[in-house]
Amino acid sequence: MTTLDFSPRPGAAPLPRMVLAQAGAEARAMLRNGEQLLLTLIIPILLLVGFSQAALIDVEGSRIGFVTPGILALAVMSTAFTGQAIATGFERRYGVLKRLGATPLSRAGLLLAKTCAVIAVEIIQVVVIGAVALALGWSPHGNPLWVILLVLLGTAAFSGLGLLMAGTLRAEATLAGANLVYLVLLGLGGVVFPLTKFPSGIQPILELLPITALTQGMRSVLENGAGFPTGPVIVLLCWTVAGLGLAARTFRWE
């Protein structure tokens, strides 16, 4: 038998090391999960290619210029909301969150790790989707800083909603609900179908959805080279405060 030195030498690792280790585990789990990849990369790329190449929608200007910002917004939603909600819901169900609670990794550290993992996957999504779009003739405009700000705010808003769902519903309900919300927001949020195609009465309501704010903000910067996207930023900030605030109050760890 191998002998190991079990003599006590307790101590927590520095926070960055803990967060990095957990974030790495979460990112690997997302990238290895087939259903998650379908949602985060395959569906967005199919939509990007399909809607930019075939004349399925009627837009002013180039189709790829219209579709790409929407697909980038969809990518953020798929990872920060759908993927994170489903993964966290099942982690809760399998006692993973409870088990982590017995380690030196604090809850704040765990949330930080989840955020880092989501952002890491989003970077991969942006690189892959951007490369495909560029190959299809996309020429982005605008200030990249505003794009980064929108992606981060969108991530925060969708994470809040995803964690709100994962922390209150059963894992199966989260699985079904998160996919349903993904589909509904994909249809209603101006991702590929222009908002102008909806009846003018409901357009102002649709504009208050987080996906619509993210899509329109991305489009205003990347397609039209517009300046600071004030409206979308305010909408996303409101969703962030509401989502994260409610999630923090209602989240059940087991």
Residues that bind other proteins (CB under 8 A): 1-13, 17-18, 20-22, 24-25, 28-29, 32-33, 90-91, 94-96, 98-99, 101-106, 254
> Considering beta carbons, is residue 15 or 49 the nearer one to other proteins?
15
> Considering beta carbons, is residue 89 or 142 the nearer one to other proteins?
89
> Considering beta carbons, is residue 99 or 141 the nearer one to other proteins?
99
Structure tokens at 200: 């003018």
> Considering beta carbons, is residue 94 or 228 the nearer one to other proteins?
94
Instruction: Report, in Å, the least distance between residue 29 CB and other proteins.
Output: 6
Please check whether residue 45 is in contact with residue 127, taking contact to mean a CB–CB distance below 8 angstroms. no
> Could you give the count of Cα atoms lying within 13 Å of 123 in the half-sphere of its Cβ?
6
Instruction: Report, in Å, the least distance between residue 162 CB and other proteins.
Output: 17
Instruction: Report, in Å, the least distance between residue 238 CB and other proteins.
Output: 33
> Considering beta carbons, is residue 29 or 206 the nearer one to other proteins?
29
Q: What is the DSSP string of 52-73?
A: HHS--S--SS-HHHHHHHHHHH
Residue type, position 178, single letter: A
Residue type, position 3, single letter: T
Instruction: Report, in Å, the least distance between residue 165 CB and other proteins.
Output: 19
Please check whether residue 89 is in contact with residue 171, taking contact to mean a CB–CB distance below 8 angstroms. yes
Instruction: Report, in Å, the least distance between residue 136 CB and other proteins.
Output: 34
Instruction: Report, in Å, the least distance between residue 114 CB and other proteins.
Output: 13
CA-CA distances (angstroms) from residue 224 to 3, 53, 116, 140?
66, 20, 30, 9
> Considering beta carbons, is residue 34 or 204 the nearer one to other proteins?
34
- DSSP, collapsed to helix, strand or coil, labels residue 227 as coil
> Could you give the count of Cα atoms lying within 13 Å of 41 in the half-sphere of its Cβ?
19
Residue type, position 101, single letter: G
